[in-house]
Amino acid sequence: QVTDARRRVLGADHADTLAARQEKAHVLGRMGRPFEAHQTYLAVLAARERTQGPDHPDTLRCRHDLAFNLGRLGRLEDSCTMARDVAAARARVLGAEHPDTLATRFEVAYTLGQLGRWDQALELHREVARARAAALGADHPDTLAARYETAVGLGRLGRTAEALEVYRVLVADRTRVQGADHPETLRTRHGL
């Protein structure tokens, strides 16, 4: 309803209309309807590129979301390639340490793990964790998430002692920051 009202009042290509359509795509993806989400993202991306240009932050956010959704469709190689391109564009436009750039780099690392390329995934998760700690702080949830994925990567590579140490420190940090019963604290404790 919001999308239709914005389209009627503001026009189909207005930034607020496109934002509502993009949010609808996000919700469709979360509801387990990735094909519908994909079609919506493609339409929004075409409109954003036409009206805002390929390097506008909103266009880059749409490309990031589309890359993530490609993973939901099982198109992991396409997802990884697109996310790498978006990360490079965001670094150029926003800066290498910008939270949006780091979010896309995190998605690249995560997808590399899904593809079984754990060496590459681990290296990138470590880089993202360091950069997020510097940009957002050591206790920021995004920093903690990158540290968690670092532990996962170490475990997948059979580097158990290193993984356990990262998990131990992370459990203590998450307990201090988020509380002992927070879902992410419990998830980390389960990894330990």
Where along the chain do its domains lie? Answer: 1-115, 120-191
- pTM of the full predicted structure? 0.91
Quick one: what percent of the chain has pLDDT higher than 70? 100
**pLDDT value for 25:** 96
Ramachandran sector of residue 53 (left: φ over 0; alpha: ψ -120 to 50; beta: rest): left
The DSSP secondary-structure symbol of 96 reads T
Determine the length of the chain.
192
Token pair for residue 104?
């896309």
Long-range contacts of 45-48 (CB under 8 A, 24+ apart): 47/12, 47/13, 47/18, 48/18
| CA gap 80, 110 in Å, rounded | 9
pLDDT at residue 89 tops 80: yes
CATH number belonging to domain 1-115: 1.25.40.10
User: CA-based Rg of the chain, rounded to a whole angstrom?
Assistant: 18
pLDDT digits (tens, 9 = 90+) for 6-56: 888 887 898 999 999 999 999 999 999 999 999 999 999 999 999 999 999
Average pLDDT over residues 135-155: 98
